[in-house]
Amino acid sequence: MWHKRNRCNTWREWFNLNSNRIGTLSEKRAICYFVEQGLDVFDSSQDTGPVDMITFNPETGETKCWEVKTENFRLTGPKKGCRIGRNRRNKKFTKIIHMIYVNKDGTIREGVRK
């Protein structure tokens, strides 16, 4: 059994998690990321809301809404190694909702506005 676990490439394979649990794990990692930056974090109590969390900077008073996505990469084909795009849940509020991406190794990348 142990030798099979060493060959796993994704969270789903390694921890035997479904996509909802992987998303929850990504949200918790994002919360840790923001707390380490000194921000207050307010987590959503709904599964289907337009945002996953809100951060508040106590020094500047800045408030931001965040949607968390688990970042995945293509494993095969001509685009192997490229990021897989994830759509926003709510297109109506794209100007005020910021994106944050959590990689399977725990690294975090904030989305850049174009």
**55 pLDDT more than 70:** yes
Q: What Rg do the C-alpha atoms of the chain give, in angstroms?
A: 16
Q: How far apart are the first and last CA of the chain?
A: 46
Q: What is the tally of structural domains in the chain?
A: 1
- Smallest CA-to-CA distance from 31 within 56, 2, 7, 11 is with 56
Angle at 36 between CA 52 and CA 50, to 5 degrees: 10
- Smallest CA-to-CA distance from 64 within 91, 89, 40, 28 is with 40
DSSP H helices, the chain, are 2-5, 11-15, 19-36
Contacts of 47 by beta carbon, 8 Å cutoff, 6+ apart: none
Q: What is the CATH number of the domain that holds 12?
A: 3.40.1350
**1 pLDDT more than 50:** no
Q: Write out pLDDT tens, residues 25-48.
A: 889 999 999 999 999 999 988 777
User: What is the average pLDDT score of the chain?
Assistant: 78
Higher pLDDT, 103 or 83: 103
Task: Name the residue range of residue 61's domain.
Answer: 2-110
pTM (2 decimals)?
0.73
94 sits in the region (left: phi over 0; alpha: psi -120 to 50; else beta) called alpha
Give CA–CA dist 69/86, Å, rounded: 7
